[in-house]
Chain A
Amino acid sequence: MTKRTWSERSGSALDQWVRITHMLFCCGRDNGAYAIQKGVGIMELIYGLVTGILFGFLMQKAHVIRYDKQVGAMRLTDFTIFKFMLSAIIVGMVGIYFLKDAGIVSLSVKSTSLGANIIGGLIFGIGWALAGYCPGTAAGALGEGRWDALIAIVGMLVGAALYAEAYPALKASVLAWGNLGKITLPDILGLHHWIVIVALCVIYVGLFFLFRLVEKVE
């Protein structure tokens, strides 16, 4: 069953309006103003911008986008990022599965490939530790005035271009190693998803208490 999102069902009214206005004012002339977004609806872009603003606002308020917090997390001397991420995971996990069970949304599961995930993850970790920013937080860090994040962003663009060149060679090797397909934790464990969700919530809340304990010792 294909599920339609709210934007497809109701939000397209504005999209229609933009399309009609575009037709009226630019009749016949394909000047590219709206044509650039063929197939990407303008609403989708507005949703992206608004969601990003909210997310960036929250990350800045929690101080999780700055270098000292990122590297502090990797050195296990600062638990702010763990607290933020695990809280977001708990709420997101419960919320998304609740909506999925209600039949309103569907999961977006990426394929697991042991070669790609392990080797790629290790490479990412080295780069993340050196830069002190990851792809999303680099943008946020630049927003709060950290100029070195701009240099990291330029590096990331170069890294993306290099990966595009390496992709044909990697596709036949690393990316194909240990390909397990689109699996989830409940699938592997053979347990009902709510059992796994509750267990993970208990573990994460346990970690919160552990962080407080370690902070007290320090």
Chain B
Amino acid sequence: MLNVETNPIFRSKGKGGMRENMNVLIRKTWSPYLAGALAGIVLCLSVLVAGKYFGASTTYVRSAGILEKAVASDHVAKSSYFMRTKVKVDWQMLFVVGILLGSFASAQISRDFTAVAIPPMWRRRFGTNKAPRFLVAFLGGVVALFGARMAGG
């Protein structure tokens, strides 16, 4: 009925299909449906076991607070925002560090780790000069986090 080889839900596109590579962990690409569903299960387990829902942007606030505290601790102590969002190491900060480590592990196991400074899509459109890409990545990061915190998540 549900043939894992032919069913599009389980069949991943591109290199390393089911038959070519039976070791799931080494395979470069997993079906986004399957990986997404597993991520949903991870979320349920997290809420069940630790009582924690997923989030990332608060970590940037806490980290910025930790860095600012090193330079101007009085300023941070007086900030109404850092009183609301405490400057501390918490579940979410380790969650974000975990995302980095998990991604690194996955990329290493499947030999998918590629050190690149400019994404292929950007390179095709804007060329190989690093400066414009880094400037836009920086400004994008500033604007994205500001907006995310305003929108509440």
Q: Which residues of A contact B (CB under 8 A)?
A: 5-8, 11, 36-37, 40, 43-68, 71-72, 80-81, 83-93, 95-96, 99, 104-105, 108, 110-111, 113, 116-117, 119-136, 138-149, 151-168, 170-171, 174-175, 208, 212
Contact = CB atoms under 8 A, between A and B. Distances in A.
B11 to A, nearest CB: 12
A212 to B, nearest CB: 8
A85 B38 CA distance: 11
B133 A116 contact: no
Contact of B97 (A52, A104, A133): A52
A95 B44 contact: yes
A61 B35 contact: yes
Contacts of A47: 46, 49-50, 52, 91
From DSSP, what is the main secondary structure of chain B's interface residues? Answer: helix
Contacts of B36: 58, 62, 83-88, 91
Contacts of B2: none
Contacts, number: 409
B145 A155 contact: yes
Interface string B119-143: 1111000000000011011111111
B5 interface: no
A155 B39 contact: no
